Each structure stands twice: as C-alpha cells, then as structure tokens.
C-alpha cells in the first residue's frame, strides 16, 4: 500500500495544525492530565484516518473485455433504468456506488477503450446518496468507448457533503486501460456508472464492492 500523491500536502498540513494545537495546549496547561492524554489519542486517531483516506491499495485486476468492473470501493445504492441526458442521450442502466470516508477513494477505469468525453461540472454539495446529487452536485463525467465491441460506458464522479474536490488524472482522448486510475474524490462521495440496457447486471442493492475486483455487469 502507498499514499496517493494528492494526499501529501493535506497530510503535512494536518500534521502541522495538530502539532501546533497540542504544543499550545501544553504551553498553556503544563501539568499533564487525563484530558491531555485524551487529546493525544483523539489527535492520533484523526491523523491516522486522514493518512488512511489517501491510501492506494496494491491490487491487480484479472482483465476481461466482456466485464465492467466497479470503478470504486463502496456500497451499491442504486440500480435503475434512467435516461442519460448529458452525452449518451438514451436509456441506460444506472449503477451507483456510495463511498464512505473510510473507503478507498481512488477510482479506476471499468473497461478499456478511448476516453471520448470528459467534462467537469461545478455544483452543490448535497449528501452523496441524495437522488439529485447526480445532477446538482459538483461532478466529473467521462465516457469510454470499448476498444473491442464499440459500446460506450459513462461514469460520473460526484462530490458529496464532505467531499468537495474531484481530482482527475487523465485527459480527453486518453487510451483507457481497464483497472488504471482515472482520478479520485476527496473525503466521501459517489460514482455513477451508466451501462447499456442489455448488459447483465452482476450486483444488487446493498452489496459491498471493491474496485478492480468486483464485476458489476457484463456486456451481452
């Protein structure tokens, strides 16, 4: 496991802030008490969680051109047929994955192919499971055209109430490889995946999924 490059600055700033707070407390209140020890424990736990948030697990992927892998760790919260109005403009099966602050927040390409569309949308910060977060929140949409069958998959990173920054790591016309990173969302969020109606869904509501490991659907 390693730390994502986006975490270096945040981790350093948090460490400095916590250190200054604890130093100030010890200067003002020199005598060590149970309150001091409790603050040390709270600070250590908080710092550990911040560092852990930016972890990048060592995972491999068993590539399968007929499979659509989960782009994120988390829980399946939506599986429904919807009209995708932004780019595909047709009916699709939407599969939504909610990522809590404890999940890995790096996102990975669900299929291999050409990145044909990429657009960032500023927006609100509703809780990520809110039905309108997909269209109202800060979000980043990408579309990859499958390298073999020519079918397109749209996936959307959605910032939540806590997450307020989407960090893409690829540009338009990038040659996507299944399982490679395409970005991350900081501190709690959601990813929507729009698959063809004839795709065979391989997950269910409430299921925990793992990026690069869980196959959420298969092409027909």
Q: Which two tokens stand for residue 95?
A: 């599969």
The Cα 121–Cα 88 span in angstroms is 17
Q: From the candidates 96, 134, 140, 189, give the one annotated as an active-site residue.
A: 189
- Is residue 100 flagged as an active site residue? no
Rg (CA), the chain: 20
> Comparing C-alpha atoms, which of 114, 76, 92 is closest to residue 195?
92
Biggest alpha carbon–alpha carbon distance for the chain: 70
How far is CA 102 from its chain centroid? 11
DSSP string, 19-40: HHHHHHHHHH--S--HHHHHHH
CB burial of 35-67 (b: ≥16 within 10 Å; e: otherwise) equals eeeebeeebeeebeebeebbebeeeebeeeeeb
Q: Quick check: 134 and 158 in contact, CB under 8 A? A: yes
The structure tokens 């109005």 sit at 85
Place of tokens 């390409």: 109
- Residue positions annotated with a catalytic role: 189
């Amino acid at each position: 496991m390693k730390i994502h490059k986006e975490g270096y600055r945040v981790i350093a700033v948090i460490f400095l802030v916590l250190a200054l707070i604890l130093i100030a407390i010890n200067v003002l209140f020199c005598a060590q008490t149970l309150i001091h020890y409790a603050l040390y424990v709270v600070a250590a736990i908080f710092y550990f969680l911040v560092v852990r948030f930016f972890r990048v697990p060592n995972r491999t992927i068993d590539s399968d051109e007929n499979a659509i892998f989960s782009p994120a760790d988390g829980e399946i919260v939506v599986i429904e047929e919807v009209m995708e109005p932004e780019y595909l403009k047709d009916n699709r099966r939407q599969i939504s994955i909610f990522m809590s602050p404890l999940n890995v927040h790096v996102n990975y390409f669900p299929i291999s192919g050409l990145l044909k569309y990429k657009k960032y949308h500023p927006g609100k910060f509703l809780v990520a499971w809110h039905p309108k977060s997909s269209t109202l929140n800060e979000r980043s949409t990408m579309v990859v055209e499958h390298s073999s069958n020519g079918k397109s998959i749209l996936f959307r990173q959605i910032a939540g109430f806590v997450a307020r920054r989407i960090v893409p790591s690829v540009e338009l016309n990038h040659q996507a490889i299944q399982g490679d990173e395409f970005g991350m969302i900081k501190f709690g969020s959601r990813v929507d995946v729009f698959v063809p109606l004839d795709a065979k869904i391989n997950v269910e509501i409430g299921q925990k999924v793992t990026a690069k490991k869980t196959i959420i659907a298969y092409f027909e």
